[in-house]
Structure 1
Amino acid sequence: MPLTLFRRSKIWHYRGTVAGRRLRGSTGTADRAIAERLKAEVEAKAWERKFDGPGAGLTMAQVFSAYLDAEKSERFLLRLADYWKNTLVETIRPETVRQAARKIYPQATEPTWNRQVIKPTQAAINYAAELGWCPRISVKRFTENPEEKTPATVEWVRAFADQADQDGLPHLGALCLFMFGTAARVGEACRLEWRDINLSASTATIQLFKPTIWTRTAHIQPEVVAALKNLPSNRKPDDLVFGYAGRGSVRGPWNNVAARANIPRLTPYCCRHGFATSMLRRGYDVKTVAERGGWNDATTVLRTYAHAIEDKTVTDALFDT
């Protein structure tokens, strides 16, 4: 359909399809007459570029707009759109994307550059390629050397929970037990409301928000159920189970409890790490661990958590009868 004008606040914007290309943008003016002229210029240029080959005149702003219109994930895109603005897609090269990662997040590490710049930028451009607007792009990821995390053990978790109870922080102790028992991330656990907990059925409905919104029902073990039942709470359906707003409010008390318990200072994420590591070492297959712990892809569990058992004598089991 041809371009049409619409107002957002006082400024006129345009959207529509011209010469097979979906266009959307701002005229930058509140004057309808000027906006009409600008709209006509955009249409004329779009028809001119139709004959210049795929990608001619296509901007990153248009690419991101089309990507969002297709209801793709908007995660990280606002920062990218602000950086690229109206940069022509035909000028984008794999190395310019890698350079953009360093410029947008100068203090970040390789995993962040890959996740928040390279992957979404490449996905948006390649979506435009599927529409026939431009060629596909392939960007080499940065080599990642993730810091090895120490997994929490059941002994560590119990020691932490006991100390938290002694310190008058039963909610923090229960949070630790819950994350170890369900592989919930600290943000997911902090968002739990009592409506999400079914103590009689020993289940918890956990809301996940990355990379897309979905839910999973996790089993909670008797030890965790007991800790939840002992929490001082009115247990209104919309009350937070653990009483913490998020990871920021957990960090300080968490580190203090670990110090007083005289146990290694592990992060809350180490409970999720401990879930996977403990289940694997107890002989459960990777697919089961992934499903019970809320990982979409079993290969992620295999790649991240399936560390080799250090005891060399485990091969004796080959000749056990």
Structure 2
Amino acid sequence: MLEAYPRGKTYWARGHVEFNGRKITEYVRKSTGSATLQGAYAWIQEFTEAELRKYHFGEEVLPITFAEASLLADVDIPTAKRLMPIVKQVGDVAIADLSPERIKKLCSKILPDASTDTWRRWIIVPMQRVANAGHAVGRCDKIRVPSFSTQDRLAQDKLRGKKSRQKKTPGSVTWLNNFKLAAHHELYVLARFMFETAARVGQATAMGPEHLKELHRNIVLIPATKGHEEVELEITQELADLLRSITPKAPRNWKNVPENLRVFGYASKDGPRKAWNTACRNAKIEKLVPHGAGRHGFATEMLVRRGVDVATCTAYGRWADKSLFLDTYAQSPEAEKIILEAWGTNSVQ
């Protein structure tokens, strides 16, 4: 067993830790750091208990911190950038100590002028991905944060002086034709591709020549995203001809090798932003974001303007949830006008 003895100005400990009369450690000779005998024996008790736990249950694993877990997470560059301010704030905090309440307070500290929806996308979801990486190696539990309530969302909107969840203006054939007049050819084909296929901008910009291998059959391969696998999609002859009219190239500052070629020449979903906004400005049209012009535009064009049934729209556009499609994507931009005109044609007497 361990005993304390004076050495200089402090007490040291020497001996073995034993269990049932059997030595379970090598010979110990360590400073307790205490100047009193009472303090030395308190240290010996803590040391003995730790060694007994190690003997019975194995090496003690310290709780993983957020910074440590972030090194285990496989994230893309945009997500890594969003994690940087989070690590700065809570990097040395154990994930087990990050309660839902603490995480929600962290959102308002890091992005005080953002909406609750942005907090979830840019802070909570990346934090959950980090916690999942720690959980995968058995170092922590997953992070579960309840959704922000409607009251939370409205209160935050009031604080920042801006309404969230504003309806996005969906793209249309008219908008696309005007966009074509000011955009360079590849950018127009990108917009047209998203509008006709409901592809997300991240999917479109990720496409390389390998995604057009069956273009002679008017077939493109849409990259995987958000729980959906890669899928073959038949497109119109006109869109296929447009895709054939552009030459895949490596994005700016990328090495010009076959594996780096991209159909539209952009490195990521953010690549077209500057040219896109410039084309909108020069065309003197509403500045729609690519998602609104493309995926939202597809939904509204097919369901509302052309009367295609919901099942067909969701199948071709790859929506797993029909309710989400109807609630979020399919919009009637002129709902009031159409209803009023309908009443006008057959007024109640």
Report the TM-score when normalising by structure 1. 0.62
Aligned match of 1:157 in 159, 176, 180? 176
Q: What amino acid is aligned across from residue 120 of structure 2 in structure 1?
A: N
Q: Match of 1:139?
A: 146
Q: How much has 1:227 moved relative to structure 2?
A: 1.7
Q: Match of 1:267?
A: 289
* Residues 1:137 and 1:170: Cα distance change in structure 2 (over 3 Å): closer
Distance 1:240 1:85 in 2: 36
User: Residues 255-313 of structure 1, C-alpha deviation per residue, up to 9 Å, x if partnerless?
Assistant: 33333434333222222210111122133344433332233433332221233544226
Contact 1:122 1:137 in 2 (8 A): yes
Aligned residue for 2:190, secondary structure, equals helix
Distance 2:285 2:110 in 1: 38
Contact 1:97 1:139 in 2 (8 A): no
Matches within 5 A, 1:76-225: 79=84, 80=86, 83-88=89-94, 91-119=97-125, 121=127, 124=131, 138-141=145-148, 142-143=152-153, 145-164=164-183, 169-197=184-212, 198-209=214-225, 211=226, 214-225=229-240
Q: Quick one: percent identity of the two aligned structures?
A: 30
Aligned residue for 1:284, secondary structure, equals coil
Aligned residue for 2:221, secondary structure, equals strand
Contact 2:83 2:127 in 1 (8 A): no
Q: What amino acid is aligned across from residue 153 of structure 2 in structure 1?
A: T
Q: How much has 1:208 moved relative to structure 2?
A: 3.5
Larger Rg: 2
User: Residues 54-98 of structure 1, C-alpha deviation per residue, up to 9 Å, x if partnerless?
Assistant: xxx745549948x96xx9999669555664335345644332110
User: Residues 158-188 of structure 1, C-alpha deviation per residue, up to 9 Å, x if partnerless?
Assistant: 3322444xxxx22122111111111122232
Report the TM-score when normalising by structure 2. 0.58
Matches within 5 A, 1:52-63: 58-61=63-66
Q: What amino acid is aligned across from residue 215 of structure 2 in structure 1?
A: L
User: Residues 94-128 of structure 1, C-alpha deviation per residue, up to 9 Å, x if partnerless?
Assistant: 32110112234445332121123334556848x96
Q: Which ranges of structure 2 fall in alignment gaps of 5 or more residues? A: 1-46, 155-163, 250-256, 345-349
Root mean square deviation, CA, Å:
4.6
Aligned match of 1:304 in 318, 322, 328? 328
Aligned match of 1:283 in 307, 311, 316? 307
* Residues 1:259 and 1:44: Cα distance change in structure 2 (over 3 Å): same
Aligned length: 262
Q: What amino acid is aligned across from residue 290 of structure 2 in structure 1?
A: P
Aligned residue for 2:279, secondary structure, equals helix
